[in-house]
Structure 1
């Protein structure tokens, strides 16, 4: 018998929330710097630029995340030395950096906000020269993107860092190129594969985001404002990776708006997403109790969109394993919802880090293979652009070999208990056949109610 998605009444277990926040040890950051050096032998220096929105690369290597200001990490590839350039307020914030003793701090006040003092900084060119950069240096600059020949025949010279920085570098040496791929390539970048310690941090963040979204969809009611509904998220202050999202009615079709004081009405479209550093959870559907309340023009919403979508998400989860190609994951989705009606135009899944999207090995024809330690999002977006609206099941998962699983079990037993209980719910109650290496990080555990006012009625696989 062919398996298919069916709406049934389910009891979503309480998987619990973390009682403590895992931390990345200093030795992990130092190991990352060493691995960067090993990958960068063709360079003399790697410069990693960051600001508030684009902090993930510099944070990954140093544990320092720029707040109000910009920052620049300069790594001498052939000597065990690294400098961090910060502004006025960042200078004090360096005290929170876990490897501050291994970084040489450099005050560069132009990184500060406008009108703040600029009287204690050396000229940028002099600072760069003091780190050993000369006419013979080979410089790689990492920002937050790299480019390909599809975008420009000169793509390696496209650098998304401030022009004044790149101009000063190119005044010192002609060999300045984009090196972001060292960190963000979809399979070979340092950040594509995570240590057990990083995965534990991601599980912590995902437990928070998913519990927040879960509490919203189990408590939202018509007559509330969007702001009142979002208050059920009860976030604890852990750093966000994206703006908070919740919208209803016409704005829900846009997908990205933050909540407002608009009153929520029965029968409207609904979407919400919450992202913290290392995690994002999203759900979307209709503010109804069941399909009999749907408008006549979309009376077949469940069989036409929602059920095939869940089947595609399940196929993605069941295909996911160590060594599978991104092309196989793409095909698992598009074999089921590849018709233009579904509007699945973005990658059906991607890598996640402290930023919401690192890169994606999942695209049509991809031969990129899934590796142990990857953290991925089931980010499959059916943007129909029709009255059928959408549905969404975005959760976080990790792929872990036996070594990683043993480490998580031994060092993070509380997180491991949540992971195993989520797996049990997904396999035993939802009928999803997960490979042993697939670790669910979400407290929603693929629970997908298309009708938000009846959150206990969700899809499972039968047959």
Structure 2
């Protein structure tokens, strides 16, 4: 029998708030460096990982060091055992944050410092690079935050999104300097496409914070509040952000991405919000109403035409998700239901998440890429209708975990495991979403989707 989405009154359980914060040990980072060397052996002599405040995920993945005000450069001798990290004036002291600081050679490179700060104590960049063993015979891989295809360039391997002065100096020393970001960010084979159990536990912690923040807004927002006051309901604890906090109502909500303002929230307006922290992002969008009878007449069929089919597509994605499923199958599960141009699902319906909000995506039309154990993914299906129907959105995070990883969670992260089990129970028993055993929900919203924000208890479930 064909199932469909219906709106019903639901009681979203309290899944709890983290007390214990997982962390990554020095051993984890050293193991990652070892994996990098094995992966790059024979192809590169040196791997250079560039990072700045906006693009810190790859360098932090290897070191636990995230650039703040400055840029940074990690140089890994693939054939040896050494690694150097070039930082600016303020970065030297902040290197203490790295769990493997004793295994990093700190190098002061003051051109990474902010303008007007002292530049008199560091060597020229070319000499610093030579000091790490780079010669004319070196094979250099440079990791930034993107890599490119033949569709974009006739020579994509030589497109590198790092400062030109760095690439110019490297190419003055060595002839073989290419983009190596795929080593980290390829959608299935990249080092960061899969995660250690410890990393997943850290992501579940972050996702609990982000989802609870959005949940607090959904259940606490009132007309007459300002957008700033609505954001204060999030009650965030200071965990680092991966994206600007987003909340907008009225005309600005149609853009999707704006930060909040002092605008007063009014009944009948469109609404959207999203919160992103390292390893997690959650979002909801809908109308600031209590019931579909309050919608403008010309979109009176909003639930039947947009919202219900959307929830059915998100459910199909979740039910199809499993170890070994292809990205093409997940894409098809969504587009079979909301693939019409009216829905405007132009972006990949789901993607990998890490410290950065979007690593890459194995989910695209006809994709043969298979979902692997320990991947962390976003249920990120965005209907950009571009019409008076506005949109609806439920973005939550999950992990795909084999039995070994699930056992590890149960033993070492029982608090997180209890939340995961309770979320699964709600999704399967109350929402009618038939999850595979390997799907671990990380969101305290647990796919709870109220299209009318002023009535958050009235949400979708699947029924026959």
Q: Distance in 1 between matches of 2:264 and 2:108?
A: 48
Alignment of 1:36-435 (within 5 A): 36-41=36-41, 42-435=43-436
How far apart are residue 24 of structure 1 and its match? Answer: 0.6
SS in 1 for 2:407: helix
Q: Distance in 2 between matches of 1:96 and 1:388?
A: 47
TM-score w.r.t. length of structure 1? 1.00
Q: Distance in 1 between matches of 2:26 and 2:211?
A: 28
How far apart are residue 388 of structure 1 and its match? Answer: 0.1
How far apart are residue 153 of structure 1 and its match? Answer: 1.3
How far apart are residue 37 of structure 1 and its match? Answer: 0.5
How far apart are residue 57 of structure 1 and its match? Answer: 0.2
Q: Distance in 2 between matches of 1:199 and 1:19?
A: 16
Report what 1:23 is aligned to: 23
SS in 2 for 1:409: helix
Q: Distance in 1 between matches of 2:269 and 2:205?
A: 32
Q: Distance in 2 between matches of 1:402 and 1:388?
A: 42
Report what 1:10 is aligned to: 10
Q: Distance in 1 between matches of 2:230 and 2:179?
A: 43
Q: Distance in 2 between matches of 1:297 and 1:91?
A: 60
Aligned length: 463
How far apart are residue 96 of structure 1 and its match? Answer: 1.1
How far apart are residue 20 of structure 1 and its match? Answer: 1.9
Unmatched runs of 5 consecutive residues or more in structure 2: none
Q: Distance in 2 between matches of 1:342 and 1:30?
A: 46
Unmatched runs of 5 consecutive residues or more in structure 1: none
SS in 2 for 1:60: helix
Q: Distance in 2 between matches of 1:96 and 1:370?
A: 33
SS in 1 for 2:394: coil
SS in 2 for 1:152: coil
SS in 2 for 1:228: helix
Q: Distance in 2 between matches of 1:66 and 1:381?
A: 31
Q: Distance in 2 between matches of 1:90 and 1:452?
A: 44
TM-score w.r.t. length of structure 2? 1.00
Q: Per-residue displacement from partner, 1:190-216 (whole Å, max 9, x unpaired)?
A: 000000000000000000000000000
How far apart are residue 167 of structure 1 and its match? Answer: 0.2
How far apart are residue 306 of structure 1 and its match? Answer: 0.1
Consecutive aligned runs of 4 or more in structure 1 exceeding 6 Å deviation: none
How far apart are residue 21 of structure 1 and its match? Answer: 1.1
Q: CA RMSD in A?
A: 0.4
